[in-house]
Structure 1
Amino acid sequence: MRKARYMDRSASGWLNGLIGVVIFSGSLPATRVAVMQFDPVFLTVARAAIAGALALLLLLFFAEKRPARRDVFSLVVVAAGVVVGFPLLTALALQHMTSAHSVVFVGLLPLATAVFGVIRGGERPKPAFWLFAVMGSAFVCSFALAQGLSAAPVGDALMMAAIIVCGLGYAEGAKLSRTLGGWQVISWALVLSLPVMILASIWFMPASFSHINAPALGGLVYVSLFSMLIGFVFWYRGLAQGGIASVGQLQLLQPFLGLTLAATLLHETVTWTMFAVTAAVIACVAAARKFAR
């Protein structure tokens, strides 16, 4: 009976995690489109302010209790990592690189999440897990580098910093989701940062929106509602149910989903090798899951 409950919880975690990854896969292409018209700092604070206002309404509607004092530090870490850190650093980085180049670094995000899952979440995957996790990341990075991608060093440094703070934010939020709930964690993190984000949005708001085109506005709406809030509802719940290190490997699929969207929205080329590498990555994800616990 216990094993059956574990299997059901694990399967539910992977399903929720997959939904979250599909939603997140549109983040970098949408950000790339948005920063063509919006200042990166304004984009960061505006998306957090919009998502934070919606999160506040949800918390009030469902009459959620305030987090315990012991949870405040973890919420600050989540806010610093995924509400401010990752969005700002990637927006700045995408001024120096294409969305396709960024997949080199997104391919390292599952490893970063797994490492912080060990440090902050207390998880202890088997040694074989790390082998397949590294192999999956290597497949993603090798594929991206094989495309002949290049960017300014400052863009690479910003993306690397973004991956580190995002991995920490993912692991910290997943740990907290075990007791607080998935959508509650991201909602409270957004609300915690909401006053600062509103003031910053007013400060960095462009003098006029007349020059902002529809794609840029669409990018802002997507990263505000889906990347900043809805995706995390599924993602944190999935990590809490199925394990941070295990479900975190689903992020290896995100670059390929993102490249597909980039090809559609930004007219970047998609080749058959992308699908071959995707198959190899899926195999690594499946193997990593087997040895995650």
Structure 2
Amino acid sequence: MLAFSGSLPATAFAMEGLDPYLVAIGRAVAAAVAALVVLVAAGAPILPPRAHLRSYLVIVAGVVFGFPVFSGLALDSGASTSHAAVVVGLLPAATAACAVLRAGERPRPLFWTACALGAASVTVFTLTRGGGHVTGADLLMVGALLSAAAGYTEGGRLARETPGWRVISYALVVALPLTVPVTAVLALSTDVRPGAASLAGFAYVSLISMFLGFIPWYAGLAAGGIARAGQTQLAQPPLTLLWAWLLLGEDVGPATIGAALAVLACVAMTQRARS
């Protein structure tokens, strides 16, 4: 979660000099280069087993394309990093639902109570900040968290049999036939004005958010159960708020802090609920 908590602020920095779509898709190409180096160095096959290809396509759609594109567009459309961070607090509930539907997990009622409280806190915060309405940026963030939930669940399932580093590496490699040409077109057709902050942000979302962060994440989902371990994502909003305040100078008001703390309290409840 520490690695992922910097994703939204880093995306905001990257978009200072790069097109949102270029940041979203291009980072998958950069991450795939690192993944190929690791696979070759470890002597592992470059491609995943054909029997698991469908699962890897779900991961590609969810975390290689879905979350980066939707979250980047949400930030580009005017959502602050702190606002987007609190909306992401719904991600654990979405992941838990996917774990029930796809991975066959059955958490206890206390678990679902904590999920519902966390989701309610985020929903109230979103409606309050939007004047009682859900904004376009909020809908984009919902698309982002649903995409991530599907990709997390499928990756967690595969990580029960395949090491987490190979799961994310294979997903990035499988996506290359699409990410490389799209990145090339975007690089040639969009306004590219990379500065130091933009390049640093792009490097972070490429190597940390898109690759290294997934290695312990998928391993943790496989070991602790996707639904239960996924609730540690509720700690992500407070961390992201901290980075938004420190790095972007965003004004984090009492309502934002209160919503983040309410979501964080739900983490403790979910961790008491054994599957």
TM-score norm. by structure 2 comes to 0.91
Equivalent position amino acid for 2:70 in 1: L
How far 1:138 moved relative to its partner? 2.6
Residues in 2 aligned to 1:150 and 1:223: alpha-carbon distance in whole angstroms: 32
How far 1:60 moved relative to its partner? 1.1
Q: Alignment RMSD, CA only?
A: 2.3
* Equivalent in the alignment of 2:18: 38
Task: Mark the runs of 5 or more structure 2 residues left unpaired by the alignment.
Answer: none
Is residue 221 of structure 2 the alignment partner of residue 221 of structure 1? no
SS, match of residue 130 in structure 1: helix
**Structure 1 27/41 Cα, relative in aligned 2: closer, same or farther at 3 Å?**
same
How far 1:107 moved relative to its partner? 1.2
Is residue 78 of structure 2 the alignment partner of residue 93 of structure 1? no
How far 1:281 moved relative to its partner? 3.6
Asked whether the equivalents of residues 82 and 252 of structure 2 are also in contact (C-alpha less than 8 Å), the reply is no
1:111 to 84, 88, 93: 93
Task: Mark the runs of 5 or more structure 1 residues left unpaired by the alignment.
Answer: 1-20
Greater Cα shift, 213-222 or 273-282 = 273-282
**Structure 1 176/208 Cα, relative in aligned 2: closer, same or farther at 3 Å?**
closer
Asked whether the equivalents of residues 103 and 140 of structure 1 are also in contact (C-alpha less than 8 Å), the reply is no
* Equivalent in the alignment of 2:58: 77
Residues in 2 aligned to 1:291 and 1:56: alpha-carbon distance in whole angstroms: 39
Give the share of equivalent positions with the same residue, in percent.
42
How far 1:258 moved relative to its partner? 0.5
Residues in 2 aligned to 1:286 and 1:225: alpha-carbon distance in whole angstroms: 30
2:184 to 193, 202, 221: 202
2:224 to 242, 254, 276: 242
* Equivalent in the alignment of 1:22: 2
**Structure 1 151/62 Cα, relative in aligned 2: closer, same or farther at 3 Å?**
farther
Equivalent position amino acid for 1:205 in 2: A
SS, match of residue 67 in structure 1: coil
Q: How many residues align?
A: 273
How far 1:145 moved relative to its partner? 5.4
Residues in 1 aligned to 2:64 and 2:272: alpha-carbon distance in whole angstroms: 31
Asked whether the equivalents of residues 67 and 180 of structure 1 are also in contact (C-alpha less than 8 Å), the reply is no
What are the residue-to-residue correspondences of 1:119-130 with 2, within 5 Å? 119-130=101-112
Asked whether the equivalents of residues 45 and 200 of structure 1 are also in contact (C-alpha less than 8 Å), the reply is yes
What are the residue-to-residue correspondences of 1:2-21 with 2, within 5 Å? 21=1
TM-score norm. by structure 1 comes to 0.85
Asked whether the equivalents of residues 101 and 149 of structure 1 are also in contact (C-alpha less than 8 Å), the reply is no
What are the residue-to-residue correspondences of 1:43-82 with 2, within 5 Å? 43-65=23-45, 66-82=47-63
Asked whether the equivalents of residues 126 and 134 of structure 2 are also in contact (C-alpha less than 8 Å), the reply is no
* Equivalent in the alignment of 2:138: 156
* Equivalent in the alignment of 1:134: 116
Equivalent position amino acid for 1:226 in 2: I
Is residue 184 of structure 2 the alignment partner of residue 211 of structure 1? no
How far 1:24 moved relative to its partner? 0.3
Residues in 1 aligned to 2:50 and 2:141: alpha-carbon distance in whole angstroms: 33
